[in-house]
Amino acid sequence: MKCPVCGMEGKEEIKTLYKGKVYHFCSTGCKRAFESNPEKYLREGPKGMPHE
């Protein structure tokens, strides 16, 4: 399961449900970014980005 925000490996415990599908994230920062604009990340796909 890849993080839809950055493409890194997602973690089982960091997830959200959107339109009936569960998405996993590598960090809470990526989860917050996705939740603020999910269609952007689903449309554009993951982008590499620096993490804290």
Residue 28, token pair as written in the block? 């809470």
pLDDT tens, residue by residue, 19-46:
999 999 999 999 999 999 999 999 887 7
Task: Examine residue 37 and state whether it is found in any structural domain, yes or no.
Answer: yes
CB 23 within 8 Å of CB 16: yes
Q: How confident is the model over 2-26, as a mean pLDDT?
A: 96
Task: Examine residue 4 and state whether it is found in any structural domain, yes or no.
Answer: no
pLDDT of 52 over the 70 cut: no
Better pLDDT: 10 or 49 = 10
Task: Examine residue 50 and state whether it is found in any structural domain, yes or no.
Answer: no
Task: Examine residue 24 and state whether it is found in any structural domain, yes or no.
Answer: yes
Q: How many structural domains does the chain have?
A: 1
Q: Which amino acid is at 9?
A: E
Domain residues for the domain of 19 are 11-44
pTM of the model: 0.83
Task: Examine residue 25 and state whether it is found in any structural domain, yes or no.
Answer: yes
CB 39 within 8 Å of CB 4: no
Distance CA 50, CA 17 (A): 24
Task: Please give the pLDDT value at position 47.
Answer: 72
Task: Please give the pLDDT value at position 46.
Answer: 74
Q: What are phi and psi of 38, to 5 degrees?
A: -60, -40
